[in-house]
Amino acid sequence: MTYIDYYKVLGIDKKASENDIKKAYRKLARKYHPDLNPDDKEAEKNFKEINEANEVLSNPEKRAKYDQYGKDWKHAEEFEKAKQQQRSSGHASSQSFTDEDFSDFFSSMFGGASSDAQRGGRSVKFRGQDFSAELQLNLKDVYTTHKQTLTVNGKSIRLTIPAGVKNGQVIRIKGYGGEGINGGPNGDLNIKFSILNDTKFKRDENNLYTSVDLDLYKAMLGGEVIIDTFDGKAKLKVQPETRNGSQVKLKGKGFPVYKKEGQFGDLYVTYQLTTPTKLTDKEKKLFEELAKLRAS
């Protein structure tokens, strides 16, 4: 990458204030504007450099990176990240980062002279970049442990997804990120799970919640109902005089506990009472008699 001295382009020094930068830019932009210099390739080139210089120097954050890293300022964050990774892996105490390391880092990443040649045979190892991916699954998919094949950066990865994975959960796959530089370790792959729920069950951690319609007669007299669980059916005994909104718990009929084989949360069932409609005359008469009995 050819180095362009943005300060020289705007005709200011490195101590220039924001106001100085603004004034210099406006003056030069008017001078080299394409409308005032039609078909002038040199003026067009100068105008582009002026705008590029202003974009960097008028932004305090970009200016600070440019002042520190020069032509490679756009990649400063990558270098800082690599430097942090080097520190966290325990190499900082024996090997500090210098401008040479910075130059070596970008030579390795973006081409140029050999690192070993520049550094007299000594090269700095950098950990590869971490990759991120999102995997969208249905709630039914994560009820059981299963395998999925993902393609990340052209590589197929066979992944075992444990039952009980939660929405938004991130799983780290070591070594499946970007390749290390100068023999450094590969980065990791972080997979974020997006769980869609198109079932009638609501999931809260490892517990499941659902509702079941219960007719008035069974609610009053008691009996049995067959309900759907997440993976089958279950028979429930209804107690006499069950109220609307009553809840029962089916232990162990909830969702699998992540990475705990054979452990499940609970299923909570809420009864929703339904009232009879289109009553016959006889049924109305019976309800009227019942109302009189309750009132006496």
pLDDT of residue 90: 47
Selected residue with higher pLDDT from 231 and 179: 231
- Residue 211 shares a structural domain with residue 179: no
Residue 284, domain member (yes or no)? no
pLDDT of 105 above 60:
no
111 in helix, strand or coil? coil
Domain boundary among 196, 215, 247: 196
The answer to whether position 285 is within a domain reads: no
Higher-confidence position of 91 and 141: 141
16 with 111, same domain: the answer is yes
Query: Could you tell me if 86 and 184 lie in one domain?
Result: no
More confident residue, 31 or 100: 31
> For the residues 166-177, what does the mean pLDDT come to?
90
In a domain, 124, yes or no: no
pLDDT of the residue at 83? 61
pLDDT of 178 above 70? yes
Whether residue 105 is found in the same domain as residue 135: no
Whether residue 82 lies inside any domain: the answer is yes
Specify if 289 maps to a domain. no
Provide the mean pLDDT of the chain: 82
Q: How many domains does the chain have?
A: 3
- Report pLDDT digits (tens) over 112-138: 444 443 444 445 677 788 888 888 999
**Three state DSSP letters for 136-171:** EEECCHHHCCEEEEEEECCEEEEEEECCCCCCCCEE
Q: Are residues 177 and 223 in the same domain?
A: no
Q: Does 294 fall in a domain?
A: no
* Last residue within a domain, chosen from 95, 118, 141: 118
- For the residues 35-53, what does the mean pLDDT come to? 88
Query: In this model, does residue 285 exceed pLDDT 70?
Result: yes
Instruction: For residue 161, give the CATH number of its domain.
Output: 2.60.260.20
Does 148 reside within a domain? yes
Is the pLDDT at 15 greater than 60, yes or no?
yes
CA atoms within 13 A on the CB side of 228: 9
What's the CA angle centered on 248, arms 242 and 251, to 5 degrees? 155
Domain annotation covers residue 292: no
Supply the range of the domain harboring residue 53: 6-118
- Residue 216 near residue 169, CB atoms below 8 Å: no
Mean pLDDT, residues 59-74 = 81
Residues 219 and 173 placed together within one structural domain of the fold = no
Asked whether residue 84 falls in the same domain as residue 113, the answer is yes
At which of 152, 177, 196 does a domain end?
196
Looking at the structure, tell me whether residues 182 and 215 fall in a common domain.
no
Whether 217 contacts 241, CB under 8 Å? no
Pick the more confident residue, 139 or 71: 139
Note whether 234 and 183 are same-domain residues.
Answer: no
Whether residues 93 and 143 fall in one domain: no
Q: Angle 229-233-234 (CA atoms, 0-180°, nearest 5)?
A: 90
CATH number where 24 lies: 1.10.287.110
240-274 confidence digits (pLDDT tens): 999 999 999 999 999 999 999 899 999 999 999 98
Most confident range (mean pLDDT) of 20-29, 61-70, 80-89, 175-184 is: 20-29
Distances (CA, A) of 49 to 26, 28, 64, 149, 206: 13, 10, 19, 47, 59
